[in-house]
Amino acid sequence: MSKSPLIEVKNLKQYFPIKTGLFKTEMLKAVDDVSFYINEGETLGLVGESGCGKTTVGRTLLRLYEPTAGEVLYEGTPVTDKNIFSMRKKMQMVFQDPYSSLDPRMTVEDIIGEPLDVHKLYSGKGERRDKILHLMELVGLNAEHATRYAHEFSGGQRQRIGIARALAVDPKFIVCDEPVSALDVSIQAQVINMFEELQEKLGVAYLFIAHDLLVVHHISKRIAVMYMGKIVETGTADDVNYNSIHPYTCSLMSAVPIPDPDFIRGRQRIVLEGDVPSPLHMPSGCPFRTRCKHACEKCAEAMPPLTDRGNGHMVACWVK
């Protein structure tokens, strides 16, 4: 039997109750029956338009939200309320906004040391300090920064502090939610390289959520594309980018701004028509059918299942 993947997500659902009237509550299906896996030391990129449920997948996976249904397995063991405390030593999250996700009144040392304290990962003050300095070195921060406050740092440096904190417990898996989008372009590359180097050195796996499709393609081995709470296409980064099959992925890829004038001026964009449906009133069948130019009767009847188009390239579409 083959070894189980590091992370396996099975039929995960996250429904939020939304008050839509005085006595009326409706369910917003932020994540609706999502399954995927991530192997040790691997990066899975997660893309899709704003509001499609990427952050919710990451948060539910780490049980920051109680899932409505479905399962998350870590090396084959289900993650539950009971074992989540110890699981947090293996699974961590880096948040989108380096400006608001760190307490500005804490020193760098305290921010990075907090998870060490929580999980009691040292035997004395000296060891605690050594660990903190080692983590700071890993992410490229100077030892002399240790006693300074988070608000004294630039965006790129704060993002490093957040990452050092996530690494403190020596995790095998990190959810990175838009970790570079708040950074200046010239600083993004520093942080992306650091993620890659840490993966080579420590073998961490990432779920990498971002809206910059070039960055996701660069860093990911495989990519999953979400549309309104569902995964509509997944496969190797190259397959999803160069051999897109799902009509949504195709329009997405055709619109990626490519920084190459000769290339991009010859390209034909597939501009989508129609508006994004409200997540509270999802269309029947395939959620993309209201904007899809290939939609047929069948698309309105039932949600297409993900089927393998070869090489593990999975697509959920009745027509394509």
Partner 1 sequence: MEKEYLLSVQDLHTSFFTDSGEVHAVNGVSFNLDPGEILGIVGESGSGKSVTAYSIMQILESTGKVVGGKILYKGDDLTKWSSKKLDKFRGKCVSIIFQDPMTSLNPVFTIGNQIEEAIKLHTDKKGKEASDRAAELLSLVGITDPEKRLRQYPYELSGGMRQRVMIAMALACEPDILIADEPTTALDVTIQAQILELIQELQKKIGMAVILVTHDLGVIAELCDNIIVMYGGRICERGTAREIFYNPKHEYTKGLLKSIPNVNNMKEKLIPIAGTPINILNLPKGCAFCARCENCMKICLDQVPVELSINENHKASCWMNVKEVFEAEGGKK
Tokens of 154: 């630039």
User: What's the rounded Cα separation, in Å, for the pair 179 and 161?
Assistant: 12
Tokens of 147: 């006693």
280 binds partner 1 (CB under 8 A): no
Residues 6+ apart with CB under 8 A from 75: 4, 6
Residues in contact with ligand SF4 by CB under 6 A are 246-247, 286, 288-289, 292, 294-295, 299, 304, 317-320
User: What's the rounded Cα separation, in Å, for the pair 152 and 159?
Assistant: 13
The 3-class secondary structure across 55-117, one letter per residue, is HHHHHHHCCCCCCCEEEEEECCEECCCCCHHHHCCCEEEECCCCCCCCCCCCEHHHHHHHHHH
108 binds partner 1 (CB under 8 A): no
Q: Which is closer to Mg ion, CB of 59 or CB of 119?
A: 59
268 binds partner 1 (CB under 8 A): no
User: What's the rounded Cα separation, in Å, for the pair 282 and 296?
Assistant: 17
- C-alpha angle 277/281/286, rounded to 5°? 65
107 binds partner 1 (CB under 8 A): no
Instruction: Scan residues 18-37 and list those touching ligand ATP (CB under 6 A).
Output: 28, 30
Find the part of the chain contacting ligand ATP (CB under 6 A) among 44-52, 200-208, 250-258, 284-292. 44-52
55 binds Mg ion (CB under 5 A): yes
16 binds ligand ATP (CB under 6 A): yes
CB of 16 to Mg ion, least distance (A): 14
Please report, for the chain, how many H helices and E strands are present, in that order: 11, 12
Find the part of the chain contacting ligand ATP (CB under 6 A) among 54-62, 66-74, 84-92, 122-130. 54-62
Pattern 222-241, partner 1, x by CB under 8 A? ---------------xx--x
Which secondary structure element, helix H or strand E, spans residue 196, and what is its range? helix 185-202
Q: Report helix, strand or coil for 174.
A: strand
CB of 56 to ligand ATP, least distance (A): 3
CB of 284 to ligand SF4, least distance (A): 11
CB of 289 to ligand SF4, least distance (A): 3
Q: Which of 140, 134, 127, 132 is nearest to 106 (CA)?
A: 132
200 binds partner 1 (CB under 8 A): no
Q: Which is closer to partner 1, CB of 134 or CB of 211?
A: 211
Instruction: Scan residues 245-264 and list those touching partner 1 (CB under 8 A).
Output: 251-252, 254-264
Across the beta sheet with 25-38, the strand order is: 25-38, 7-19, 69-74, 77-78
CB of 220 to ligand ATP, least distance (A): 16
180 binds partner 1 (CB under 8 A): no
Q: Report helix, strand or coil for 140.
A: coil
Find the part of the chain contacting ligand ATP (CB under 6 A) among 52-60, 78-86, 138-146, 289-297. 52-60
Q: Which is closer to ligand SF4, CB of 159 or CB of 251?
A: 251
State the residues that interact with partner 1 by CB under 8 A: 49-51, 154, 156-157, 184-190, 192-193, 196, 211, 213-215, 217-218, 237-238, 241, 251-252, 254-265, 269, 271-276
